[in-house]
């Protein structure tokens, strides 16, 4: 039987792995500049954590979690980061010192239908900012998002924003929305008919054309939000304009997770690099969630980028490949000297040591060519007798013979040679 990777998972290697690491380093650099500290949480959590935070009626809890078959089915691979970070903060008393700003980077697992930009094991990098209710904290996150995207040279994006009100306001809105959809039930898609009683808000971001047409006539959440909140939202938009952060209001944006309130947003790719999956990331405020878990009133806001999607859109050049020099000899005594030289050589070069001293010169060159060496050093019996080494520039084909009295000086001589060519 052929053993294959599990549906929706993929191997990441070569340039792709470099790209993922590059994104991780940019993310960690930029978040630490803003005072976020990294946290790592386990890949497994109690199922009830997500039922209580993300919500019983969310797609994640309803059908997307990878449950681990222990006795009670009570463990799951984590489908998202916020709930785990929150659990970790409560368990480790991290909320004793506020404000608190945390970041995370790692794999998440959701049983979704795999397609371009959508996997069953995918990576998210995100932040959570606890303890600040002002729109300054919201703005800080948007600035962070735009800085990270700029560093990754991702310019074709827009941040869609919406204000979904406080929990009470949203409950009022949901009642009216339910009544509207109930009256027009025949015009709803089959999927949305099911959502009518379980999660009426989700009908608003349905991709089905029938629902989209009907949604043009729905009551809007804006009309349910208090005046003070509306003014704050306007001020927030003015600041986004001043900071040149591209955004637009999407009154139908609700996000699929129960814990959000007030500001929600999604970072949308406009370059068509992602096919039908256009969201590079998303987030929002969740001011009530911590109270539900710990009785502490702590406002919070967070976002997560989908790293796999950033990888598909990132145009930033990866750091230049270092110059690669391949060391080869038919003299076995030289191999340990080569290895010592490699160990001490400056890190901006890549010194490759061919450990096989039994190869012919032809095979040594073929090997060096295969690994894309820029220079090849060869020391055969002839050179060894004469205290010399040969170095060939693989691009120009020029071969140079260099005198050397002690082979343990080869590192220094190579550096001198590279300086003069």
Return the number of the residue (55 or 282) whose C-beta is nearest ligand AMP: 282
Return the number of the residue (165 or 284) whose C-beta is nearest ligand AMP: 284
Return the number of the residue (124 or 341) whose C-beta is nearest ligand AMP: 124
User: Which residue in 12, 49, 279, 404 binds ligand AMP (CB under 6 A)?
Assistant: 279
Nearest to 55 by CA among 288, 304, 218: 288
Q: Burial letters for 199-219: b for 16+ Cβ neighbours within 10 Å, e otherwise?
A: bbbbbbbbeeeebeebbeebe
Q: How far is the CB of 280 from ligand AMP (least distance, A)?
A: 5
Interface with ligand AMP in residues 282-301 (CB under 6 A): 282
Cis peptide before 381 (omega within 30 of 0): no
HEC string for 73-128: CCEEECCCCHHHHHHHHHHCCHHHCCCEEEEEEEEEECCCCCECCECCEEEEEEEE
Nearest to 356 by CA among 378, 332, 373: 332
Q: How far is the CB of 282 from ligand AMP (least distance, A)?
A: 4
Q: Contacts with ligand AMP: how many residues (CB under 6 A)?
A: 16
β strands within 137-260, DSSP E: 157-163, 247-249
Return the number of the residue (264 or 410) whose C-beta is nearest ligand AMP: 264
Return the number of the residue (155 or 343) whose C-beta is nearest ligand AMP: 155
The two most distant CA atoms of the chain are separated, in Å, by 96
Interface with ligand AMP in residues 106-135 (CB under 6 A): 110, 112, 117-119, 122, 124
Return the number of the residue (207 or 419) whose C-beta is nearest ligand AMP: 207
CA atoms within 13 A on the CB side of 226: 9
Return the number of the residue (144 or 304) whose C-beta is nearest ligand AMP: 304
Strands 121-130 and 100-109: antiparallel
Phi-psi category of 159—alpha, beta or left, where left has phi over 0 and alpha has psi -120 to 50? beta
What is the C-alpha separation between 14 and 30, in angstroms, rounded? 25
Q: In the structure encoding, which two tokens stand for residue 292, read together?
A: 């539900």
Q: What is the DSSP letter of 321?
A: P
Nearest to 217 by CA among 192, 251, 193: 251
User: Which residue in 308, 352, 374, 383 binds ligand AMP (CB under 6 A)?
Assistant: 308
Q: How far is the CB of 382 from ligand AMP (least distance, A)?
A: 58
Name the residue whose CB lies closest to ligand AMP.
306
Phi-psi category of 272—alpha, beta or left, where left has phi over 0 and alpha has psi -120 to 50? left
Residue 205 in contact with ligand AMP, rule: CB under 6 A: no
Residue 304 in contact with ligand AMP, rule: CB under 6 A: yes
Residue 269 in contact with ligand AMP, rule: CB under 6 A: no
What is the C-alpha separation between 31 and 29, in angstroms, rounded? 6
Return the number of the residue (280 or 364) whose C-beta is nearest ligand AMP: 280
Lay out the site mask for ligand AMP across 309-328 (x = CB under 6 A, - = otherwise).
x-------------------
Return the number of the residue (113 or 370) whose C-beta is nearest ligand AMP: 113
Residue 138 in contact with ligand AMP, rule: CB under 6 A: no
User: Which residue in 30, 80, 287, 374 binds ligand AMP (CB under 6 A)?
Assistant: 80
Instruction: Choose one: 185-193, 218-226, 305-313, 367-375; the region binding ligand AMP (CB under 6 A).
Output: 305-313
Residues forming contacts to ligand AMP in the complex (CB under 6 A) are 80, 110, 112, 117-119, 122, 124, 279-282, 304, 306, 308-309
């Amino acid at each position: 039987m052929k053993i294959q990777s599990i549906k929706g998972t993929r191997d990441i290697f070569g340039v792709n792995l470099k790209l993922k690491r590059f994104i991780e380093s940019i993310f960690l650099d930029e978040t630490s500049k803003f005072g976020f500290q990294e946290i790592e949480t386990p890949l497994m959590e109690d199922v009830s954590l997500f039922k209580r935070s993300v919500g019983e009626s969310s797609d994640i809890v309803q059908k997307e979690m990878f449950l681990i078959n222990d006795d009670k089915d009570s463990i799951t691979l984590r489908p998202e980061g916020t709930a785990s970070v929150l659990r970790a903060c409560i368990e480790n008393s991290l909320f004793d010192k506020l404000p608190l700003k945390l970041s995370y980077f790692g794999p998440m697992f959701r049983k979704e239908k795999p397609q371009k930009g959508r996997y069953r094991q995918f990576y998210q990098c995100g932040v959570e900012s606890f303890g600040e209710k002002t729109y300054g904290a919201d703005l800080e996150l948007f600035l962070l998002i735009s800085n990270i995207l700029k560093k990754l040279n991702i310019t074709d994006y827009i941040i869609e924003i919406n204000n979904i009100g406080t929990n009470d306001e949203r409950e009022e809105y949901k009642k009216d929305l339910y009544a509207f959809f109930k009256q027009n039930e025949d015009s709803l898609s089959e999927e949305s008919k099911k959502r009518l009683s379980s999660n009426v808000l989700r009908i608003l971001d349905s991709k089905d054309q029938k629902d989209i047409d009907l949604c043009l006539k729905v009551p809007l959440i804006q009309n349910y939000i208090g005046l003070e909140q509306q003014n704050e939202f306007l001020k927030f938009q003015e600041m986004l304009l001043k900071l040149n952060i591209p955004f637009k209001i999407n009154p139908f944006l609700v996000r699929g997770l129960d814990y959000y309130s007030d500001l929600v947003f999604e970072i949308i790719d406009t370059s068509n690099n992602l096919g039908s999956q256009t969201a590079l990331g998303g987030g929002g405020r969740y001011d009530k969630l911590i109270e539900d878990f710990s009785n502490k009133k702590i406002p919070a806001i967070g976002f997560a980028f989908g790293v796999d999607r950033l990888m598909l859109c990132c145009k930033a050049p990866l750091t230049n490949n270092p110059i690669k020099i391949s060391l080869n000899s038919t003299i076995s005594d030289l191999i340990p000297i080569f290895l010592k030289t490699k160990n001490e050589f400056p890190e901006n070069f890549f010194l490759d040591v061919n450990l096989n001293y039994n190869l012919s010169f032809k095979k040594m060159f073929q090997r060096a060519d295969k690994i894309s060496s820029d220079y090849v050093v060869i020391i055969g019996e002839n050179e060894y007798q004469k205290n010399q080494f040969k170095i060939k520039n693989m691009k120009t084909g020029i071969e140079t013979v260099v005198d050397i009295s002690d082979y343990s000086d080869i590192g220094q001589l190579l550096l001198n040679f590279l300086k003069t060519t």
